[in-house]
Chains A and B, each alone.
Chain A
């Protein structure tokens, strides 16, 4: 069974700080990785996707991928209270159509 692991949190950071969210995955052949934000009672919303090793930046968000360590992370710079949500990591299992999700990390940004 392929797995995606995330620390459930809550991760609390002060407003304006950098929030670092981490995810590990078990399928060494996976090539596609995604981060979603989910507010309470709402559906997941795509933030970023990354396919290559290294960093990918989009505004205040940076996704980092290290395939050798089977590790993907999301950095949120200048965190705002509106960033308070659960962040889901998803991995596309190699050779399949299956996207496996972690159970999410709850982020709280304190004003």
Chain B
């Protein structure tokens, strides 16, 4: 079974803090993704990566950056957390270009 592990289940941070969300997958998947999920808005793509050190902006990249130094690890960085970044953050990976996404357990981030 594919395992996608997100480092924290719940996080509480203060406005202006730099926040790191970590994601690791154990199936040698090529592609990794970060989504956020908000009530009524569904899942929205923040960033994705199709190879080590490669990254592409999704639909809502503002205020976020990412890092993929190793194939199995994809980090999401909130440069200066704001209250409108309070959300559920979901990491996902996929084996190849049209394969299903496999999600981690999610990180519920609250910015106060």
Contacts and interface: CB of A to CB of B under 8 A. Distances in A.
A22 interface: no
Given A97-B48, A99-B33, A88 B104 contact: no
Contact of A45 (B31, B48, B50, B103): B103
30 contacts: A31-B98, A32-B98, A34-B100, A34-B101, A36-B103, A42-B105, A42-B106, A43-B90, A43-B103, A43-B104, A43-B106, A44-B43, A44-B101, A45-B103, A46-B100, A46-B102, A51-B98, A88-B42, A92-B98, A97-B56, A97-B97, A98-B45, A98-B48, A98-B59, A99-B45, A99-B101, A101-B42, A101-B43, A102-B42, A104-B42
Interface residues of B, number: 23
Given A42-B105, A44-B90, A103 B100 contact: no
A90 interface: yes
A77 B106 CA distance: 29
Contacts of B35: 101
A42 B100 CA distance: 18
Contacts of A102: 42
Interface in A9-42: 31-32, 34, 36, 42
A49 interface: yes
Pick the 6 closest A-B CB pairs, nearest first: A103-B42, A101-B43, A32-B98, A43-B103, A43-B106, A46-B100
Interface in A27-86: 31-32, 34, 36, 42-46, 49, 51
A46 B40 CA distance: 21
Contact of A103 (B41, B56, B58): B41
Contacts of B90: 43-44
